[in-house]
Amino acid sequence: MLQICLVGDQVLRRKAKPVKSVKKSVQTLIDEMAQAMYRESGVGLAAPQVGVSKRIVVVDVGDGLVSLVNPELVHASGSQLGMEACLSIPDVVGEVERFATIQVTGLDRSGRRIWIDAEGLLARCLQHEIDHLDGILFTDRAIRILSDEEVAERNEVVLD
């Protein structure tokens, strides 16, 4: 069972290595990452968050599991301001500006190239997870960190 690495762990600050090919071991890691994400009630998880310095992410914002190997942001436009949190930084919520609309490409769990056009929460989540692959935490991008009272008052979706 994979454990979530917490802020301070050096793997979270390293640029993750590209995956050379999607083998059974990568597919198993994707499955285990998805299990860990669901177990922790998150909507996204990057491999460095479970101690693996590889360019792999999983997300599920309510439309089913999306897994990407070697994801790349290829187009972005607009901006959106929203609240984010992270499984690796418990009990911290911040306001982060992200692109509103993005296109991401990468490999699916079978090794086929796919493209995802995303907006709203899916766009925010994909950007958050791809940042993890580059050693960037949401707190690095946060305009401000919210107090517990502000989080309770706003009652908005928080990205884990």
Catalytic residue from among 72, 129, 149, 156: 129
Task: Write down how long the chain is.
Answer: 160
What is the DSSP-derived secondary structure letter of residue 159? B
- CA neighbor of 51 nearest in space, from 95, 5, 1: 5
Tokens 């101690």 sit at which residue? 51
Task: Examine the residue annotation and report whether 129 is marked as an active-site residue of this protein.
Answer: yes
Distances from the Cα of 127 to the Cαs of 3, 20, 21, in angstroms?
Answer: 22, 22, 23
Q: Do 47 and 54 meet the contact criterion of CB atoms below 8 Å apart?
A: yes
Give the residues across from 123 on adjacent strands. Answer: none
Rounded to 5°, the CA angle 54-60-66 comes to 55
Residues assigned a catalytic role: 129
